Amino acid sequence: MLPCANANIRLVGRKHCAAIRGVGAVRAFSLQKAAFAKAITPSTFLLSHVYLPERTPDGQPQRKPSEHPDFMKYDFVADPEFERAPPPIKVMLMEDIKDIGEQFDIVEVPAEIARWELLACKKAVYASPFNLEYYAEKREKYFAEMAKRVRIPPELLKMSELLMSKILSVPVSADAEWTMSREILSAATKSLGLYITEPTIIHLSDVPINGPNPSIEGHLFRFYINLNDKMIVPMLGRISHTSNDESKKSLFPTDDKLLNEPPADGTQLAKFGLTLESVYYSPAGGLNDILAAEGVATFMANRARQQQKEEEAAREGGGVEEKEGDEQNNRHINEGEGRVGKDY
């Protein structure tokens, strides 16, 4: 047996190489890209002796490592067998995962993604015969429920997530009078790489915003975008006064920190009299006619109150299981309308 601490060593052919399945520094190196670096996962490396020790004669005791420490020095040996990329792994998803699939879908993903991002985090399980049989009843029940629901088109879903992921910096003049309009918002969306050719799809709240007004500098306000006459996306804008006079400038809309500002939380919205809102989707369309008759602010406020009442009734009526199901299936809507994703 060769001297080496904390490792199981085996000789490979005449090259006197050792495949070491170790822990410690080797494990830390192999897990540096993992989000869960505390996991204990052994890795295999092929090594060779720097100084080849003499073979211990049969029946004789092995020499102590302390007699010749150089015998414990190893070099890394490249081996195509260990460098070959592992094949993809077939897994069953336990929840909806963006760009991969939906709950209970059986998909093949690269081995690295499967092991580090899905299996270890319990977001998926191996699609083994045992698991397929174990989850068969749950899958059938889930797919039967999904068949009754209306799915939001993926392109609309992705666009709504993009629009709601940032707070839009809206530059306005600090010198000339202005009133917040669709044209101003349409020009501001170009900072996000969006070009809205039809400003009529933008809807403002019922309360007009006028300026210049230093007291509203940096304030958040709500506006909405109607996608394909089927989806209302609530968005947030932040007022940013600009001027040719350097003494009047307070915020720069091209500032990277401002452009990359994350969505606001409920506490931040409450400072400006706003509340969290979610996307509204109607597969039948006709939202332009509804908004023209009722107004977008009134329509979304009534819908938010109705949702709050339904959630309170569900909690009082023991609708815990239904609520858990909604969290897993938040990309679907029932009865032709509803909410999707997070509130903003």
Question: Which domains, and CATH codes, for the chain?
Answer: 7-83 (no CATH), 89-148 (3.40.5.10), 152-344 (no CATH)
pLDDT > 50? residue 237: yes
Interval 124-137 mean pLDDT:
93
Report CA torsion sign: 239, 171, 164, 262: negative
Q: Answer yes or no: are the C-beta atoms of 267 and 220 closer than 8 Å.
A: no
Interval 155-163 mean pLDDT:
83
The helix or strand, by DSSP H or E, that contains position 205, with its residue range, turns out to be none
> Which residues make beta-bridge pairs with 289?
none
Q: Is 344 exposed, middle or buried (0-12, 13-18, 19+ CB in 10 A)?
A: buried
Q: Phi-psi region for residue 168, left (φ > 0), alpha (ψ -120 to 50) or beta?
A: beta
DSSP-assigned letter for residue 101: B
Q: Answer yes or no: are the C-beta atoms of 92 and 124 closer than 8 Å.
A: yes
Q: Where are the beta strands (DSSP E) in 74-219?
A: 74-76, 89-93, 106-109, 124-126, 150-151, 167-173, 178-179, 202-204, 210-211
pLDDT given for residue 42 in this prediction: 54
In terms of pLDDT, which residue wins out, 158 or 45? 158
pLDDT given for residue 337 in this prediction: 46
For 266, residues 6+ apart whose C-beta sits below 8 A from its C-beta are 275, 276
Q: Answer yes or no: are the C-beta atoms of 260 and 168 closer than 8 Å.
A: no
Q: Answer yes or no: are the C-beta atoms of 138 and 145 closer than 8 Å.
A: no
What are the pLDDT digits (tens) for 47-97? 888 888 888 888 888 878 777 888 888 888 877 666 677 899 999 999 988
What are the pLDDT digits (tens) for 182-234? 889 888 888 777 777 776 688 888 788 998 988 898 889 989 888 888 888 88
pLDDT > 50? residue 284: yes
In terms of pLDDT, which residue wins out, 261 or 306? 306
What's the rounded Cα separation, in Å, for the pair 5 and 47? Answer: 14
pLDDT > 50? residue 36: no
Interval 238-259 mean pLDDT:
65
Number of Cβ within 10 Å of residue 131's Cβ equals: 15
Angle made by CA atoms 218, 223, 229, in degrees to the nearest 5: 160
